[in-house]
Amino acid sequence: MTLRSEANETFQIVDCASSGLAAALDELGVGETVTVTLTEAPCRGNGWQVIDTDAETDTRLVA
């Protein structure tokens, strides 16, 4: 997954700290906003691990 910051930086997400975090990110659609806490993933290259998330729900879309 690729996430883009408000400063237009991109982050390649290669891992999540838990399956719950992975599921929360998997539910997001293109263009949705999420706040995440990242740490460098223990891998080659520029990969990041999500260790926390705070998804903002657009209540206009909730029935």
Please write the tens of the pLDDT for every residue from 6-15: 899 999 999 9
Task: Transcribe 16-32 into DSSP letters.
Answer: ESSHHHHHHHHTPPTT-
Integer CA distances (angstroms), 46 to 3, 26, 53, 55, 57, in order: 13, 21, 20, 24, 29
Please write the tens of the pLDDT for every residue from 18-43: 999 999 889 888 888 889 999 999 88
Please give the biggest Cα pair distance in the chain: 43
What is the reported pLDDT for 63?
47
What is the reported pLDDT for 44?
79
pLDDT exceeds 70 at position 58 = no
Q: Output the pTM of the full model.
A: 0.73
